[in-house]
Amino acid sequence: MIPIEFTERQQKIIQIVKEHEPITSEQIAKLLKVTRATLRPDLAILTMTGMLDARPKVGYLYSGNKPVNLISEEIHRIKVRDIKSMPVVVEEQTTLYDAIVTLFLEDVGTIFVVSNGFLTGAVSRKDFLKNIMGGTDINKVPVGLIMTRMPNIVMTYPNETALEAAIKIIEHEVDSLPVVEKVQKGEKEYYKVVGKVSKTNITKLFVELGSQ
């Protein structure tokens, strides 16, 4: 199993759970004097790595990263390239109307935007809703004007682990990540979108592992 160096706060959480198990996230947050939202990424990492065991309506228990935690071992072994799905991509000049139609036809939460074949941005359902409510002419405005632009896009790579991708989704509170391959052109780096990893991909992986 790949060793993970836990942060100071994660180590405190482990100690608290050891001393007070079973204990809820709300109780842990009170002891650390932080919000539950602040703890969410830490608890996700600790449970995914097998250090803690989360039980519904019970709370967190200390499991100590036991070797028998096969799901944890699989999560470390499985790569993004093994679970990625097809991305939904549009050009920067695509109108908001056409982009919204694409969003609903493909039934996705986020569309990735490209220019000359390389990633330049991303647009979510929330972005579209804000602009529709703001009175934007969706038949004239290109999606490039409302998208979140690079370098503010959280990405993942084919050779990263499923665990690393899941942590990024939780920490940055996004629905999906573009899976990219880096392309070097002179002194500049560009990113080609080769897939996506979403909350659905991660959920399917857990269901698959839990069914084995």
State CA 17 to chain mean position distance. 26
Separation of alpha carbons 141 and 143, rounded Å: 7
Residue 4 has pLDDT above 80, yes or no: no
Report the DSSP pairing between strands 118-124 and 176-185. Answer: unpaired
The pLDDT of residue 155 is 97
C-alpha closest to that of 121 among 102, 144, 88: 144
The pLDDT of residue 22 is 92
Percentage, residues of the chain above pLDDT 70: 92
The pLDDT of residue 68 is 44
Domains of the chain plus CATH, in order, are: 8-77 (1.10.10.10), 81-211 (3.10.580.10)
In this predicted model, what pLDDT tens digit does every residue of 41-93 receive, in sequence order?
A: 999 888 877 789 888 888 999 987 654 455 666 677 899 999 999 999 999 99
Residue 2 has pLDDT above 80, yes or no: no
- pLDDT band per the 50, 70, 90 thresholds, residue 134: confident
The pLDDT of residue 65 is 61
Within 10 angstroms of residue 24's Cβ, the number of other Cβ atoms is 15
In this predicted model, what pLDDT tens digit does every residue of 160-187 receive, in sequence order?
A: 999 899 999 998 999 999 999 999 988 8
Residue 1 has pLDDT above 50, yes or no: no
Lowest mean pLDDT among 4-18, 104-118, 144-158, 188-202: 4-18
The pLDDT of residue 73 is 67
Mean pLDDT across 121-147: 92
- pLDDT band per the 50, 70, 90 thresholds, residue 142: very high
State the helix-helix crossing angle for 25-32 and 8-20, rounded to 10 degrees. 120
In this predicted model, what pLDDT tens digit does every residue of 119-133 receive, in sequence order?
A: 999 999 999 999 988
CB 22, CB 59: distance < 8 Å: yes
C-alpha closest to that of 9 among 22, 31, 143: 31
